[in-house]
């Protein structure tokens, strides 16, 4: 007798086969990802039941207020207390989703990753064309002399990190509330999407702007959604899969490349080189990480 589990597994396998075919037919893929890509590496998201917004900040302020520009300026010590505990995960490592996307890039099919995350995990996995809309905790700089500093330096500093060269306060190169995204990153993301023959959106509920609107720049309707919860684009997408993004991408992107893919991948990298875009000073409705 067929059970509900059998029907679920059958539908899941059918969707995985569809996704594999769609990817195989595409040569100019762009991936747009959010916090759900990194939760499988042990980094919490913001809005779920266990997300950062629903956790105790350990301070007399709400998490959503702490990660704002005005709070950073007025209360830098409390900001860094929260920031180091809740937003920095130096031991996190790439998961199946990051690694599968790197394989797809090596095959020459994936042209760019647009991420709302600030954890650097796509680069750790080897991805070369990564647009970081909300910056990265791994980049920090002195607000006075602009000297760059590593995440390790910030975490090792007691309280507020100060620049040893000039004494200025160091800040992370991440987008806080009340700050604008770097227009160069937005322009670059839109340019890649306008040329894409497939947009894969994964690990995001598409509630943070402007990334939530990026699909409108596609000249067609070839959009795939992979997310555990629903999004406003689910019914418009050519394929929607409500499942673990790591498990899905790992299942549909081959571990080994065909010879033709190896040739295409080498050609693509020779043309593009290493291109990692980082956010400068951060849009009013932006979020450090979805």
Residue 30 belongs to domain with CATH number: 3.40.50.1220
Residue 58 lies in a domain: no
Q: Please give the structure tokens belonging to residue 232.
A: 């406003």
Residue 52 maps to a domain = no
Q: Residues 6 or more apart from 281 whose CB is under 8 A from it?
A: 179, 180, 182
Does 143 fall in a domain?
Answer: no
Assigned token pair, 185: 């990153």
- The count of structural domains within the chain is 1
The DSSP 8-state label assigned to residue 268 in this structure reads H
DSSP β-bridge partners for residue 129: 275
Per-residue tens of pLDDT for the chain, all 290 residues: 444 554 567 888 999 999 999 999 999 999 999 999 999 999 998 877 778 887 878 888 999 999 999 999 999 999 999 999 999 999 999 999 999 999 999 999 999 999 999 999 999 999 999 999 999 999 999 999 999 999 999 999 999 999 999 999 999 999 999 999 999 999 999 999 999 999 999 999 998 889 999 999 999 999 999 999 999 999 999 999 999 999 999 999 998 765 444 544 444 443 333 344 433 323 334 444 44
Catalytically annotated residue among 134, 180, 220, 242: 134
Annotated catalytic residue 134? yes
Burial classification of residue 238, based on how many CB atoms lie within 10 Å of its CB (0-12 exposed, 13-18 middle, 19 or more buried): middle
- Domain interval for residue 289: 1-43+94-134+175-290
What's the pTM? 0.85
Q: Is residue 25 part of a domain?
A: yes
Element (H, E) at 142: strand 135-142
Do the domain assignments include residue 65? no
- Residue 98, number of CB atoms within 10 A of its CB: 27
């Amino acid at each position: 007798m067929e059970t509900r589990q059998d029907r679920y597994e059958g539908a899941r396998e059918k969707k995985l086969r569809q996704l594999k075919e769609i990817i195989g037919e595409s040569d100019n893929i762009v991936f747009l990802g959010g916090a759900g890509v990194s939760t499988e590496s042990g980094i919490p998201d913001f809005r779920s039941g266990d997300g950062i917004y629903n956790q105790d900040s350990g301070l007399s302020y709400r998490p959503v207020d702490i990660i704002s520009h005005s709070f950073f300026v007025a209360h830098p010590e409390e900001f860094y207390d929260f920031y180091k505990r809740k937003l920095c995960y130096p031991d996190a490592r790439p998961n199946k989703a990051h690694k599968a996307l790197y394989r797809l890039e090596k095959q020459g099919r994936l042209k760019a990753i647009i991420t709302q995350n600030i954890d650097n995990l796509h680069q750790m996995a080897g991805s070369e064309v990564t647009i970081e809309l909300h910056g990265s905790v791994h980049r920090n700089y002195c607000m006075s002399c602009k000297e760059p500093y590593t995440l390790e330096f910030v975490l090792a500093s007691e309280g507020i990190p100060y620049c040893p060269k000039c004494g200025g306060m160091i800040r992370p190169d991440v987008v806080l509330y009340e700050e604008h995204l770097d227009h160069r990153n937005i322009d670059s993301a839109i340019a890649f999407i306008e040329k894409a023959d497939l947009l894969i959106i994964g690990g995001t509920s598409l509630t943070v702007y402007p990334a939530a609107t990026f699909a409108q720049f596609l000249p067609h309707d070839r959009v795939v959604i992979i997310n555990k919860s629903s999004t406003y684009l689910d019914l418009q997408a050519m394929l929607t899969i409500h499942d673990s993004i790591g498990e899905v991408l790992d299942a549909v992107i081959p571990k080994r490349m065909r010879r033709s893919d190896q040739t295409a991948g080498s050609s693509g990298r020779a043309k593009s080189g290493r291109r990692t875009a980082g956010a400068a000073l951060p849009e009013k409705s932006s979020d450090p990480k979805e």
